[in-house]
A = this chain, B = another copy of it.
Amino acid sequence: MRTVDVATERLLKPYHRPLIRNAWYCAAWSEEISTDLFSRRVLNAPLLLYRTQNGEAVALLDLCPHKLAPLHLGAKVGDSVRCGYHGLEFDSSGRCIRNPQGNGQIPSGAKVRSYPLVERHGVLWVWMGEVERADTNKIPDFSFLLDAGRRTQRGHHEVACNYMMLVENLMDLGHAMFLHRQTGGVSDPSLAENTVEQTDAEIRDSRLHHDKPAPALFAPYLNSGNKVDFWTDIRWSPPAMVLNDVGCAPSGRGRDASGLTTLGAHFLTPETQHTTHYFYAHSRNWAQDKAQIDEVYTSWQRNALKAEDSRISEAIDSALPDALNSDVRMVMLSTDQSGLRVNQVLERMAAAEA
């Protein structure tokens, strides 16, 4: 009955696009997973995560193939998991190795699906798609997270929105001076040089402010009171990993080694079509031992990422049906170019999986 505006339909499409399966996702921070059984939903599949006694982390489907009992309600037996219902045991590859019931015969084909899981950069990366395509070279570089010369703070929370709302949020930092006005938003982004670069593996949105007074946060830790170049760069790797580089250096020196940088990692792992695990980290090469700067980033993670970005993203997700019911005609801004490119890449990936 109602006809939806064509532009609106196109702009809403990302939030309803099938989730990309052939990709690496952050399933957990390394320290979250021990030899205990741990349950987390990723791409709408319930995962069982744990470490074997030699420390290797594994990811199994968290469902017993006998009666569908969640395996995390069972127990560890050595490196195996024993279902808490009838006692079937599965080794860390998912193979059934014991049936304590009846004739004791292990049914042929009794196994739990195992997912490729790689530990790198302090992250457990899981591959939910076709196993033969799981190429660890495609995990983007987040080695700064384990750089001993940096101070890194990280955390995690869940957001009730499609992951693309958080990706788009990060691809356009222009929201900072409005959404994060109270929490420390940056100065007018329209003053910055803005370039967008795209390769097969990533999209970079770089913004450089030339020859400005040093931002208040960095100023006390620079060697001089001279003006600086200040940058806020974003690197997106498909489907849901964002590196955010915010820093400054003496004017004219560019993003060189002497600069102060805070590198942010943002992993937006879809839990379901409309809920997302938001893993975040901030890693700085300056004032590493200053508790008051720790507090700045703790507060930013709690207030800006959680209270502001996540709240507005949830409000938007809730409003999706309204956009269609109420004949909204959505519009794009020039600063949405990076987000548009991200969606074009993901649209191709989704089409290839269809």
Name A residues whose Cβ lies closer than 8 Å to a Cβ of B.
1, 44-46, 61, 63, 65-70, 73-74, 82-87, 96, 99-105, 107, 109-111, 113, 168, 172, 174-175, 177-179, 188-190, 194, 311-312, 315-316, 319-320, 322-323, 325-335, 354
Cross-interface CB contact of A178 among B86, B174, B333, cutoff 8 Å = B86
- Whether A69 and B332, one on each chain, are in contact in the complex, defined by CB atoms closer than 8 angstroms, is no
- Whether B335 and A101, one on each chain, are in contact in the complex, defined by CB atoms closer than 8 angstroms, is yes
- Secondary structure class of chain A's binding surface, majority of residues: loop
- Whether A65 and B113, one on each chain, are in contact in the complex, defined by CB atoms closer than 8 angstroms, is no
Bound Cα distance A334, B354 (Å):
39
Q: A66-B333, A330-B68, A331-B107 are in contact. Are A73 and B189 (CB under 8 A)?
A: no
Q: Which residues of B contact A99 (CB under 8 A)?
A: 333
Q: A102-B333, A104-B190, A325-B44 are in contact. Are A319 and B68 (CB under 8 A)?
A: yes
Q: Which residues of B contact A82 (CB under 8 A)?
A: 178
Bound Cα distance A73, B179 (Å):
10
- Whether B102 and A335, one on each chain, are in contact in the complex, defined by CB atoms closer than 8 angstroms, is yes
Bound Cα distance A327, B175 (Å):
41
Q: Which residues of B contact A1 (CB under 8 A)?
A: 354
